[in-house]
Amino acid sequence: MEYDYICSSRAELTGRIGAVINNTVEQLSAISAGARKITPASCGPLPSVEAVREILDLVKTVIFPEFIDRYHGTRAMEDARLSVSTERLFRSLSKEIGHSLFQKNPDCGSSVAAEQGLELALKLVERLPEIKRLIYTDVQAIYDNDPATEDFGEIILSYPVVHAMIHYRFAHELLKIGVPVLPRIITELAHSDTGIDINPGATIGEYFAIDHGTGVVIGETCIIGDHVTLYQGVTLGARNFTLNGEGHPVNVPRHPILEDHVTVYANATILGRITVGHDTIVGGNVWLTESVPPKSRVVQKNAEFKVR
């Protein structure tokens, strides 16, 4: 659909458009200059969200080759494919880590950042088997928890929590070896896809399961034991912030500790640096801000309703 023109009518419009764009660009550019004062400017590239997405696809490929790569051949051929995927993962990851490092420390020179990127990516590759082992414990936990499935394949291919946990466990390892920026981009991608928001700084044990998942929030300093299960809408959050001298909130331990074998039902909210003892069940919609001993059952007190 286009308006009817002969060249002279178009020329008039063209002139008007050109003037508006010119003027707009000048104003946009002026704001940009101001913003730079706040953000530490750097001349290097930022990590690419597209590349990160591809890296995580490769992580899934090397962790679940039977389900993602779908190739069935001799062991030698399968290992060849695994090698090629792993090498591609390594290459792409080292580049994005290099970009992240240069952002944080632009004075080191781009070659040095690139070299450190290679070294850190290599370290991460060495952690892949452990990540795979942990993810398989999660898949087992999800399976044990859900009467609606009889199949690991269905869980791996379609359950959002598996997606979220791969992103989290990979991002968490990156954070541990000192990679900036990238970890949060990785977990936010999963947050967008699944509605499950796990901060890469959180510590989560083996056999971890989340059912449905939408609305789950797990804060940066959470410590979660083994065999813990959460349902949709559960928040493990901070109660209040300590501000530093400049009024910016300080990054201190401020999120809950959940010991082994804890289950938290839908929409419960657990806030502050409290400890939920092992083998505890927290009921749905509970608002919990104090520590509870092991083997507790926490339920909402006045959760009755009235029928009119």
Considering only residues 57 to 116 of the shown chain, the ones binding a copy of itself according to CB under 8 A are 62-63, 65-67, 70, 72-84, 86-87, 90, 95, 98-99, 102-103, 106-115
Site residues (CB under 8 A) for a copy of itself, limited to 212-271: 212, 214-215, 217, 220, 231-233, 235, 237-238, 241, 247-252, 254, 266-267, 269, 271
**Least distance between a copy of itself and beta carbon 283 (Å):** 8
**Least distance between a copy of itself and beta carbon 225 (Å):** 19
**Least distance between a copy of itself and beta carbon 243 (Å):** 9
CA distance 86 to 92: 10
203 binds a copy of itself (CB under 8 A): no
Contacting residue, 226, 272, 273, 300, with a copy of itself by CB under 8 A: 300
Q: Please, which residues have CB within 8 angstroms of residue 86's CB and are 6 or more apart in sequence?
A: 58, 62, 125, 128
CA distance 3 to 6: 10
CA distance 187 to 165: 9
- Nearer to a copy of itself by C-beta: 208 or 231? 231
Which helix (H) or strand (E) segment holds residue 78: the answer is: helix 75-104
- Nearer to a copy of itself by C-beta: 208 or 288? 288
CA distance 127 to 223: 20
Site residues (CB under 8 A) for a copy of itself, limited to 118-137: 118, 122, 125-126, 128-129, 132-133, 136
3 binds a copy of itself (CB under 8 A): yes
- Nearer to a copy of itself by C-beta: 205 or 237? 237
- Nearer to a copy of itself by C-beta: 135 or 208? 135
| Binding-residue pattern over the window 15 to 34 for a copy of itself, x denoting contact by CB under 8 A | xxxxxxxxxxxxxxxxxx--
Q: Which amino acid is at 305?
A: F
**Least distance between a copy of itself and beta carbon 65 (Å):** 6
CA distance 103 to 153: 40
178 binds a copy of itself (CB under 8 A): no
SS (H, E, C) 16-72: HHHHHHHHHHHHHHHHHHHHHHHCCCCCCCCCCHHHHHHHHHHHHHHHCHHHHCCCC
Contacting residue, 138, 159, 168, 204, with a copy of itself by CB under 8 A: 159
Contacting residue, 92, 145, 176, 272, with a copy of itself by CB under 8 A: 145
**3-state class of 251 per DSSP?**
coil
Burial of 166 (0-12, 13-18, 19+ CB in 10 A): buried
**Least distance between a copy of itself and beta carbon 147 (Å):** 4
Q: Please, which residues have CB within 8 angstroms of residue 174's CB and are 6 or more apart in sequence?
A: 97, 124, 182, 183, 186, 200
DSSP states along 176-226: HTT--SHHHHHHHHHHHHHS-EE-TT-EE-SS-EEES-TT-EE-TT-EE-S
37 binds a copy of itself (CB under 8 A): no
Task: Count residues binding a copy of itself (CB under 8 A).
Answer: 162
Q: Which amino acid is at 85?
A: S
149 binds a copy of itself (CB under 8 A): yes
176 binds a copy of itself (CB under 8 A): no
303 binds a copy of itself (CB under 8 A): yes
